[in-house]
């Protein structure tokens, strides 16, 4: 957990978080590299703390990662010590085709021996998005034992990035970007004409590890802006994900990286 001021007192200085950009040739290479990182993070967390708490990303990119984990690690990972949350969720019921929970359930949960009690989906059947967000925030506080002013530290948060530079449901120039105290909020997204429920930046930045998975040519302009541009974070929210004490790894394929200037 991170109470940021408390952590700074204890540590005396802010550890400069590391940012690593891993360029993979194909999407499949990207998913294999991300699966290795997932397994590494899970193994380390369980060895050190007896459990692994991960926030899954939604959308389409991570489906292949989840399917790979289900196919290759179905019997080798200690699923009973692994706890699954969501970085964001659409405000639709869990069986809706747009639901991130449904996508993760179909590609992963239904294929491996995860105890149902280890899966914490956002209660989006509640027609009140603010109430769903508040309930999910309490779920996080209860699981992590996070008191007011403290931010839970996920062992791993998986994130995607949209062509507009959004991540989770932190869309450009939306209110949630500016949230500094809540863990989870409902965020009205004008261009989608819908509310989303999303973890806030303080939670993303309190993680021990954050892994972005970015694949495809349509992401190339935003990826250049986020990683190399000097535009404001309000316009490219992925740029605001800078874990204070944790690792930040960008898994990008050749198409998504095609507008990056840096050779690294
Ligand atoms: C969501 C995601 C969102 C996603 C990006 C990229 O709920 O859609 O959390 O942030 O990661 O929009 O989506 P794709 O992987 O589908 O390109």
DSSP string, 94-126: TTSTT-HHHHHHHHTGGGS---GGGB----TTS
88 close to ligand 1 (CB < 6 Angstrom) = yes
Give the pLDDT score at 263.
Answer: 67
Mutate to test the pocket of ligand 1, among 60, 98, 160, 252 (most ligand atoms within 8 A of CB): 160
Average the pLDDT over 29-46 and give the result: 98
* C-alpha dist (Å) from residue 144 to 21, 137, 154, 211: 29, 11, 9, 21
| Predicted confidence (pLDDT) at residue 9 exceeds the cutoff of 90 | no
Give the pLDDT of residue 85: 99
* From 67-81, 116-130, 168-182, the region with the lowest mean pLDDT: 67-81
**Distance of CA 195 from the midpoint of ligand 1 (Å):** 15
- Nearest CA to 169 out of 211, 197, 134 is that of 197
CA 214 – ligand 1 centroid, Å: 10
Q: Which atom of ligand 1 is nearest to the CA of 160?
A: 11
Is the confidence at residue 149, as pLDDT, over 50?
yes
What mean pLDDT is predicted for residues 18-43? 97
> Maximum distance among all alpha carbons in the chain?
48
pLDDT for 3: 59
Q: Whose CA is nearest to atom 7 of ligand 1?
A: 58
The pLDDT tens digits for 168-214 are 999 999 999 999 999 999 999 999 999 999 999 999 999 999 999 99
- Distance between start and end Cα atoms, the chain: 32
Length of the chain: 264
Protein residue with its CA nearest to atom 12 in ligand 1 = 162
Query: What are the φ/ψ torsions at residue 138 (nearest 5 degrees)?
Result: -65, -35
Phi then psi for 195, rounded to 5 degrees? -90, 145
Say whether pLDDT at 84 is over 50: yes
Topology (CATH) of 3-10+41-253: Rossmann fold (3.40.50)
pLDDT at 6: 47
- CA dist 156 and 26 (Å) reads 23
| Whole-structure pTM value | 0.94
pLDDT at 5 over 60: no
165 lines ligand 1 (CB under 6 A): no
Return the pLDDT at 2.
65
């Amino acid at each position: 957990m991170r109470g940021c001021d408390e952590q700074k007192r204890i540590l005396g200085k802010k550890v400069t978080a590391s940012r690593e950009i891993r360029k993979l040739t194909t999407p499949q290479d990207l998913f294999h590299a991300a699966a290795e990182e997932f397994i590494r993070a899970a193994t380390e967390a369980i060895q050190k703390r007896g459990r692994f708490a991960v926030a899954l990303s939604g959308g389409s990119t991570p489906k292949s990662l989840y399917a790979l984990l289900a196919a290759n690690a179905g019997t080798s990972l200690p699923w009973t010590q692994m706890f699954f949350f969501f970085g964001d969720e659409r405000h639709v019921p869990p069986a809706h085709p747009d639901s991130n929970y449904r996508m993760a359930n179909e590609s992963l949960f239904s294929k491996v021996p995860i105890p149902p009690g280890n899966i914490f989906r956002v209660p989006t059947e509640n027609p009140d998005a603010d109430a769903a967000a508040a309930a999910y925030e309490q779920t996080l506080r209860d699981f992590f034992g996070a008191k007011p002013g403290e931010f839970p530290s996920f062992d791993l948060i998986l994130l995607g990035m949209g062509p507009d530079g959004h991540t989770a449901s932190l869309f450009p120039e939306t209110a949630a970007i500016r949230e500094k105290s809540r863990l989870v909020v409902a965020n009205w997204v004008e261009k989608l004409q819908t509310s989303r429920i999303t973890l806030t930046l303080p939670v993303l930045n309190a993680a021990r590890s954050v892994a972005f998975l970015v694949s495809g040519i349509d992401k190339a302009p935003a990826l250049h802006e986020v990683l190399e541009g000097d535009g404001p974070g309000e316009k490219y929210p992925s740029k605001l994900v800078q874990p204070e004490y944790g690792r930040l790894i960008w898994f990008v394929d050749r198409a998504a990286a095609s507008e990056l200037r840096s050779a690294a």
